[in-house]
């Protein structure tokens, strides 16, 4: 009753719109927000990110703040504006069933497996505070296990002030936001290191780059940490001091609980989202070989925009080694080809057929023309079994002097 | 609860908030007059969400960007995803994404219209948004579908006053 009188009198003093703003302000100051913890039962990264998307779209964040927790089977998750071919070994992942995923938040590439807890703090934008979320987790873990954790200026959580155990990313909409981060407690760090390594040379790109950091697992210091103990410790901390709280186990495949979730799932699994959203990039390589006792250089360059090849350009030195019609047929034939091994191989085969019918591919030229095709395959580096390059320099000027050894791996 | 309300009211920032709110409404009235009487110079219009749109006199093409306050809040911009030329944008609809310090922030269009040009320079130097948010760091240009959408937006003066109410 007192409050009503107060609101009435303050309305006279401040005007109606100011009172509404004042009440909103008071509401946001107290712990009137409903805090909900959702733990996903799914181990599928696409399903879990679809659930996060669904919650982001369908939750009234003026009423509640959500903490979504999950872990999933092996996958590589890269940031919204990253290039998967530069960030990780795409052919290796495809061969060994490691899911490749583009998330909607910014930041760098991470490797997940079941030994990694994902925490997503979802709330209205006025409450957005990455530091507070990270501190909550650090406090919860330190309280329970006395772990020596710190947070650096990149919002990474460090163990022993040195080893990264958590990488952060966030998405900000007009009124709502989420901040999610990884928490490595028992991941296969050997696999992590071998996967987060590009097998592509000679790229130029404006895409967001990841910053590699030494990593460590929490179990190396606290052997009894596992998924359920982490979920319990973090959930308890998140819901304490709030008037109402819930911890709920959910299944993202439950279409009655999450109507329309399949739309989000289909989007996240689409090649057009995972790969074609890659910011435009270029690849440029130089190869060397010997034909008829003449040392021959071949420069291959191409652009990839929206997941498709454009402007394939080839230059041979000395120029007399290959008929210019050969290159014209290649450039025209490869334009707009999807940047996948399957599509590129198909197009190269049809170009070869064209060479044969136009009598460019002959007994005299077949060796150098087959080598040209191999150089293109080597440039796009989409085939399995290619030895990852030891050189991580992405300078466009760099020349890759090819030899018969690297061809032999194909 | 009542005493809590008193405490909140007693905070100087709340009373400031309330009084400046009234000022910003007055400034909106001033801006109305600007539109109808003095549209003789380039004018930037500002949204509460820290976007600006610059519409020169006699033109129906607006240039859109984010404000100095917004770029400061974002931190170093590392990647800019802009709309496509020819894309139809709606007022308050998503127009792209700015990435900074691991955060992907959606950009919203302050007005409805068709994109005629994007700032290609930002592809190579996204930091222009931080260095020059009102000039070299513009995002895109569009033809205004409805110039009346400018009316509720703030003038530069009004926006500066608005800024003092939100911190």
Which tens digit of pLDDT belongs to each residue from A197-227? 888 889 999 889 888 889 999 999 999 999 9
At B42 the pLDDT is 59
Mutate to test the interface with A, among B20, B104, B107, B123 (most CBs of A within 10 A): B104
Helix (H, G, I), strand (E, B) or coil at B110: coil
Determine contact, residues B141/B53, Cβ cutoff 8 Å. Answer: no
Contacts 24+ apart (CB under 8 A), B55-58: B55/B144, B55/B147, B55/B150
DSSP A15-48: -HHHHHHHHHHHHHHTT-SEEEEEEE----HHHH
The answer to whether B2 faces chain A, any CB pair under 8 Å, is yes
- Give the burial class of A272: count Cβ atoms within 10 A of its Cβ; 0-12 exposed, 13-18 middle, 19 or more buried: exposed
CA-wise closest residue to A169 among A180, A157, A183, A156 = A180
Cis ω for the linkage preceding A318 (within 30 of 0)? yes
Mutate to test the interface with A, among B7, B14, B28, B102 (most CBs of A within 10 A): B102
The answer to whether B10 faces chain A, any CB pair under 8 Å, is no
At B167 the pLDDT is 66
| Spatial separation of the C-alpha atoms in residues A80 and B102, rounded to whole Å | 10
What residue in B sits closest to A5 (Cα-Cα)? B2
| Spatial separation of the C-alpha atoms in residues A372 and A299, rounded to whole Å | 10
The pair of structure tokens assigned to A192 is 């992590």
**B 128-167 near A (Cβ less than 8 A):** none
The answer to whether B22 faces chain A, any CB pair under 8 Å, is yes
| Domains defined along chain B, listed by start | 42-166 (2.40.50.100)
Instruction: Measure the CA angle with vertex B119, ends B117 and B123; round to 5°.
Output: 130
Q: What do you get for the CA distance between the two ends of chain A, in Å?
A: 81
Beta bridge partners of B89: B113
Return the C-alpha torsion angle A6, A7, A12, A18, nearest 10.
130
Taking residue A65's Cβ as centre, other Cβ atoms within 10 Å add up to 17
Distances (CA, A) of A122 to A79, A165, B108: 18, 21, 20
CA-wise closest residue to A113 among A224, A250, A227 = A227
- Give the burial class of A273: count Cβ atoms within 10 A of its Cβ; 0-12 exposed, 13-18 middle, 19 or more buried: middle
Q: What is the DSSP letter of A362?
A: -
| Spatial separation of the C-alpha atoms in residues B150 and B133, rounded to whole Å | 20
The pair of structure tokens assigned to A115 is 């030994």
DSSP B89-105: E-TTSEEEEEEETTEEE
Contacts of B85 (CB under 8 A, 6+ apart): B115, B116, B117, B118
Q: What is the DSSP letter of B55?
A: E
- Give the burial class of A164: count Cβ atoms within 10 A of its Cβ; 0-12 exposed, 13-18 middle, 19 or more buried: buried
At A179 the pLDDT is 97
Q: Give the global pTM.
A: 0.81
Distance from CA of B79 to the nearest CA of A (A): 7
Chain A, chain B: beta-carbon pairs less than 8 Å apart: 92
Distance from CA of B57 to the nearest CA of A (A): 30
Using alpha carbons only, how large is chain B's radius of gyration in Å? 17
ipTM above 0.85, yes or no: no
At A13 the pLDDT is 44
Residue A24 with chain B: CB contacts under 8 Å: none
Residue B79 with chain A: CB contacts under 8 Å: 81, 106, 206-208, 279
Please give chain B's pLDDT, 167 residues, in tens: 444 444 444 443 433 333 333 333 333 444 444 444 444 455 899 999 999 999 988 889 999 999 999 999 999 999 999 999 999 999 999 999 999 989 999 999 999 999 999 999 999 999 999 999 999 999 999 999 998 899 899 999 899 999 998 86
Determine contact, residues B115/B136, Cβ cutoff 8 Å. Answer: no
Answer yes or no: do A80 and B4 touch at CB < 8 A.
no
Mutate to test the interface with B, among A3, A174, A396 (most CBs of B within 10 A): A174
Beta bridge partners of A180: A120, A169
Contacts of A131 (CB under 8 A, 6+ apart): A151, A155
Residue B4 with chain A: CB contacts under 8 Å: 26, 30
Determine contact, residues B63/B138, Cβ cutoff 8 Å. Answer: yes
At A241 the pLDDT is 65
The pair of structure tokens assigned to A37 is 């913890």
Helix (H, G, I), strand (E, B) or coil at B132: coil
At A360 the pLDDT is 94
The answer to whether B23 faces chain A, any CB pair under 8 Å, is no
Distances (CA, A) of A218 to A25, A111, A168, A338, A402: 40, 16, 17, 41, 43
Contacts of A177 (CB under 8 A, 6+ apart): A122, A123, A124, A125, A128, A170, A171
3-state helix, strand, coil in chain A (%, to 5): 40, 25, 35
The answer to whether B33 faces chain A, any CB pair under 8 Å, is no
| Spatial separation of the C-alpha atoms in residues A86 and A381, rounded to whole Å | 11
Answer yes or no: do B102 and A106 touch at CB < 8 A.
yes
Distance from CA of B103 to the nearest CA of A (A): 5
DSSP A43-76: --HHHHHHHHHHHHHH--TTTEEEEEEE--SSEE
Nearest to B14 among A15, A22, A155 (CB): A22
Answer yes or no: do B103 and A170 touch at CB < 8 A.
yes
DSSP A375-398: HHHHHHT-STTPPPPS-----TT-
| Spatial separation of the C-alpha atoms in residues B26 and B17, rounded to whole Å | 14
Mean pLDDT by runs of 10 across the 410 residues of chain A is 43 45 44 84 97 97 95 96 94 93 95 96 94 96 95 94 94 95 95 87 90 92 94 92 76 95 97 96 95 93 97 93 92 96 95 94 93 95 62 31 26
Task: Give one word for B113, left, alpha or beta, with left for phi > 0 and alpha for psi -120 to 50.
Answer: left
Residue B14 with chain A: CB contacts under 8 Å: 22, 25
Contacts 24+ apart (CB under 8 A), B90-99: B91/B149, B92/A174, B95/B64, B95/B139, B95/B140, B96/B139, B96/B140, B97/A80, B97/A81, B98/B66, B98/B74, B98/B126, B98/B129, B99/A79, B99/A80, B99/A81, B99/A106, B99/A208
């Amino acid at each position: 009753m007192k409050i009503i009188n107060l609101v009435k009198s303050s309305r006279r003093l401040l005007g109606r719109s100011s009172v509404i703003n004042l009440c909103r302000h008071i509401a946001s100051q107290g712990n009137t927000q409903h805090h909900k913890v959702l733990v996903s039962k799914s181990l599928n990264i696409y399903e879990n990110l679809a659930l996060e998307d669904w919650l982001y779209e369908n939750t009234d964040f003026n009423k509640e703040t959500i903490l979504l927790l999950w872990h999933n089977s092996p996958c590589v998750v890269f940031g919204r504006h990253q290039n998967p071919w530069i960030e990780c070994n795409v052919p290796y992942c495809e061969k060994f069933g490691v899911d490749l995923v583009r998330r909607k938040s910014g930041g760098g590439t991470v490797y997940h497996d079941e030994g990694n807890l994902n925490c997503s703090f979802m709330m209205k934008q006025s409450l957005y505070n990455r530091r507070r979320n990270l501190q909550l987790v650090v406090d919860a873990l330190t309280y329970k296990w006395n772990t020596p954790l710190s947070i650096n200026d990149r919002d990474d959580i460090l163990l022993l002030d040195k080893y990264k155990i958590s990488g952060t990313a966030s998405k900000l909409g007009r009124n709502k936001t989420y901040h999610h981060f990884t928490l490595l407690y028992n991941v296969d760090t050997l696999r992590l290191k071998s996967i987060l390594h590009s097998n592509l040379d000679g790229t130029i790109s404006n895409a967001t780059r990841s910053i590699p950091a030494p990593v460590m697992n929490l179990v190396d210091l606290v052997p009894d940490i596992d998924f359920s103990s982490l979920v319990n410790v973090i959930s308890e901390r998140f819901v304490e001091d709030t008037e109402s709280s819930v911890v709920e186990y959910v299944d993202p495949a439950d279409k009655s609980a999450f109507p329309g979730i399949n739309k989000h799932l289909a989007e996240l699994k689409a090649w057009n989202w995972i790969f074609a959203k890659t910011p435009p990039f270029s690849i440029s390589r130089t190869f060397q070989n010997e034909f008829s006792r003449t040392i021959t250089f071949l420069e291959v360059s191409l652009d990839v925009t929206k997941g498709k090849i454009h402007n394939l350009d080839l230059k041979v030195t000395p120029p007399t080694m290959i008929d210019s019609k050969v290159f014209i047929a290649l450039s025209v034939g490869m334009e707009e080809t999807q940047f996948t091994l399957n599509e590129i191989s198909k197009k190269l085969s049809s170009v070869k057929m064209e060479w044969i019918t136009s009598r460019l591919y002959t007994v005299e030229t077949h060796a150098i023309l087959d080598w040209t095709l191999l150089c293109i395959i080597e440039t796009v580096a989409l085939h399995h079994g290619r030895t990852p390059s030891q050189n991580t320099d992405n300078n466009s000027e760099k020349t890759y002097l090819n030899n018969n050894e690297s061809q032999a791996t194909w | 609860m009542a005493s809590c309300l008193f405490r909140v009211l007693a905070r100087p920032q709340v009373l400031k908030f309330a009084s400046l709110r009234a000022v910003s409404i007055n400034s909106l009235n001033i801006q109305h007059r600007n539109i109808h009487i003095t549209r003789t110079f380039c004018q930037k219009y500002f949204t509460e969400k820290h976007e600006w749109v610059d519409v020169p006199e006699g033109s129906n093409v607006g240039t859109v960007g984010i404000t100095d306050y917004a770029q400061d809040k974002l931190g170093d911009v590392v990647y800019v995803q802009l709309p496509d030329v020819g894309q139809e944008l709606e007022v308050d609809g998503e127009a792209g994404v700015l990435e900074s310090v691991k955060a992907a922030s959606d950009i919203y269009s302050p007005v409805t219209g068709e994109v005629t040009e994007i700032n290609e320079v930002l592809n190579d130097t996204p930091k222009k948004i931080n260095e020059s948010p009102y000039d070299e760091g513009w995002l895109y240009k569009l033809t205004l579908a409805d110039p009346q959408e400018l009316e509720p937006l703030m003038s530069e003066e009004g926006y500066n006053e608005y800024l003092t109410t939100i911190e």
